[in-house]
Amino acid sequence: MNFANLNIRLFNLKHTFESAQPLAFYADYNEVANSLTYPSGGHVINIRRVKESDSLFVTSNNMDYAVKEVRERFRLDDRMNFIYKQINTDNFMDSAIKNFPGLRLTLNDPWEATLVFILSQFNNVKRIRKTTKSMIEKYGERISGEYDNKIKDFPESERIADASEKDLVKCGAGFRAKYIRDAAEFCTYNINLESLKGKKYDEIKETLLEIKGVGDKVADCIALMGFGKLEAFPIDRWVKRTMERVYFKGKETSIKKIAEFASERWGDYAGYAQQYIFWNGRTEG
């Protein structure tokens, strides 16, 4: 088994994995070893962050693919010190950055992001993870290689489109099964998500909103973590609650007004600000 040692500053694997991004719903994290194992493109990738150092070990049976995938997936080329300067605009953001230094946004396959964020609606991480893992076990292709065929890849949209709504319910999708199947059909037969890469944020979001079950929040999550549009600012109940408490004196505020505030304050890096607001707000309760 091959490995590479990447020298990366300001990257905290634990914070990144735990902050409810797509990999949180199906990758396997070992806190003792500070390592993460996940499937991607027919390969199994393991990354291990050496604590108190800049070393990030990447292990796979296809190192060319794995190193490129890890660099892209975890946005390892992002200039975090520069990004922190752009989003550290007040005491709350300063506290969030200090509480979770090295938390990175991730850039995931657009279909993976679409599926898990549709599942995320009116749901919690534990249930989303259980459902996603069940779908991978039922519909994913088994990966051959160093893990003795025990790990399956994330299922393509075609596989979910061919599934019955009843079987998706059995996986734990509940009322979301209909929307997941509709999304899979739409992404298989109506649009090619890959073709949206390179388009502007507004164009991507407009197209994503055509998918049944995808509203503003989910579309922004997909734009941010599936297409890397850092200006996207997803607003769920946790972000809304935290924004109202911190920036609007505890007053009920419309999502539109919160989005406008975020765009004006954090601009091209609003998505990074959102992730720190979301996770700091969640952990503060």
Three-state DSSP at 22 gives: helix
Sequence-separated (6 or more) residues with CB below 8 Å from residue 232: 201, 205, 220, 221, 223, 224, 270, 271, 274
Measured CA to CA in angstroms, residue 48 lies from 39, 58, 70, 88 at distances of 15, 7, 11, 29
Q: For the chain, which residues make up each domain, given as ranges?
A: 2-77, 79-97+228-285, 110-223
pLDDT for the residue 50: 93
* Prediction pTM value: 0.95
Three-state DSSP at 285 gives: coil
Q: What is the C-alpha R_g of the chain?
A: 19
Q: Are 239 and 271 in contact (CB under 8 A)?
A: no
57 — phi, psi (to 5°)?
A: -90, 130
Provide DSSP, 97-134. Answer: HHHSTT-------HHHHHHHHHHTTT--HHHHHHHHHH
Average pLDDT rounded to a whole number, residues 238-264:
97
pLDDT for the residue 104: 98
Q: Report the distance separating Cα 58 and Cα 49, nearest Å.
A: 9
Write the pLDDT tens digit of every residue in 121-168. Answer: 999 999 999 999 999 999 999 998 756 568 999 999 999 999 999 999
Stretch among 2-6, 252-256, 276-280 having the lowest mean pLDDT: 2-6
Cβ neighbours of 198 (radius 10 Å): 9
- Evaluate if residue 281 carries a pLDDT over 90: no
Q: Do domains 79-97+228-285 and 110-223 have the same CATH topology?
A: no
CATH 3.30.310 given to domain 2-77 = yes
Q: Which CATH number fits domain 79-97+228-285: 1.10.1670.10, 3.20.20.80, 1.10.10.10, 1.10.3720.10?
A: 1.10.1670.10
122 — phi, psi (to 5°)?
A: 50, 50
Specify the CATH superfamily of domain 110-223: Hypothetical protein; domain 2 (1.10.340.30)
Q: Report the distance separating Cα 219 and Cα 154, nearest Å.
A: 20
With 0-12 / 13-18 / 19 or more C-beta atoms within 10 angstroms meaning exposed / middle / buried, residue 177 is: buried
Q: Are 153 and 143 in contact (CB under 8 A)?
A: yes
